[in-house]
Structure 1
Amino acid sequence: MTAPLTGALQTPSLKRRLACMAYEGVLLFGVLMFAGFIYSGLTQQRHALQGQGGMQAFLFVILGLYFVWFWTHGGQTVAMKAWHIKLLDAQGAPVAPKRALCRYLASWIWFVPALLAARLAHLPSSTAIFGLLLAGMLAYALLALLHPQRQYWHDRLCGTQLVVSRPPPRKRK
């Protein structure tokens, strides 16, 4: 377990956090493809729409395990390490499992409003749904600019914060 950081904690820029999120999406593509392969093999799924609800629930749990594990074991996913971003609680200490789970569930506010709107509007194409998702995510991200410390609102709700986490300088020989 790492000790809490001392001194002023700096919030990463919105641009940096969105870049980290995009990189996380690329990495999660592989995680979800592998998990989907395992699920379809175990359930003998022969068609993409067969057992679609079960697959979605399974992938939701896999994503939860991924994020909760990384956030409680060092405070960083692989993408967060690459972008020098760390998740801590509001006091600057490592995140406990309950708080990490709360953050995972609350972070779905990025997607749920747009997905619900797409469903209610019966959007015909995946391009329209993607556009609506992108607009909703951008709107939510911009809401962070209204927060005093520029944190996301689900972090405020869950008592967490994203901070800049630069690696210690290397010692020269």
Structure 2
Amino acid sequence: MSRRLPNLDDVWPAGLGRRLGAMLYDAFLVAAIWLLVAGLHLLVVRHLIGLPAEQVGVGAAQVASLRFGMLASAFAFFAFFWCRGGMTLGMQAWRLRVQTLDGCTITLRQAMVRYLVAWLSVATLGLGYLWVLFDAERRSWPDIVSGTRVVVLPKTSR
């Protein structure tokens, strides 16, 4: 269920530098989650399934299940924060927020589209994010395809 976000009149489109900064912060968090997922995967393979150490990581099923777990956990991280308040922890540090075009939190479907197109944007050597430099509204491919936008929030007065 989408909810209306505050400060809609005080925001402006995010540039490439801020986006990359937030991505770097979030990359460290996702790497930590992936370490946890890999550890849990190893625990399951060794102790619940009972494979010997030399058989760990051998076979398509083990590789596929680990990759799926990593991709699913990264999606869960981003979707939780994007749908909840529009900001991951890295986005909070850089005062960024993802929102719908009318200023609401994004839906789970939009989060899935953003996540999938983000991988495509990275796979094309970052072209999907460099698109921000050429788009008049500073939109990346994930923004365009999912019908969302990333905005900069004003500094809070103390």
One fold, TM greater than 0.5?
Answer: yes
Partner of 1:29: 31
State the alpha-carbon separation in 2 of the partners of residues 57 and 167 from structure 1.
38
Aligned partner of 1:164 among 146, 152, 155: 152
- Whichever residue aligns with residue 52 of structure 1, its letter is V
1:5-154 equivalence runs, <5 A? 5=6, 6-7=8-9, 9-44=11-46, 46=53, 47-50=56-59, 51-113=62-124, 136-137=125-126, 139-154=127-142
State the alpha-carbon separation in 2 of the partners of residues 152 and 49 from structure 1.
38
* 1:88 match: secondary structure: strand
User: How many residues matched?
Assistant: 147
Moved over 6 A (4+): none
State the alpha-carbon separation in 1 of the partners of residues 85 and 154 from structure 2.
13
* Contact 1:147–1:153 (8 Å) recurs in 2: no
* Contact 2:118–2:128 (8 Å) recurs in 1: no
* Contact 1:68–1:101 (8 Å) recurs in 2: yes
Cα distance, 1:25 vs structure 2:
1.0
State the alpha-carbon separation in 2 of the partners of residues 72 and 158 from structure 1.
13
Return 5+ residue gaps in structure 2 as ranges.
none
Partner of 2:4: 3
- Whichever residue aligns with residue 160 of structure 1, its letter is T
After superposition, the Cα gap between the structure-2 partners of 1:49 and 1:149, relative to the gap in structure 1 and judged at 3 Å, is farther
Could you state the TM-score of these two structures normalised by the residue count of structure 1?
0.76
Could you state the TM-score of these two structures normalised by the residue count of structure 2?
0.83
Cα distance, 1:49 vs structure 2:
4.6
Q: Deviations over 1:44-86 (max 9, x none)?
A: 2743455112100111111111111110111111111111111
* 2:97 match: secondary structure: strand
Identity fraction in percent: 22
Return 5+ residue gaps in structure 1 as ranges.
114-135
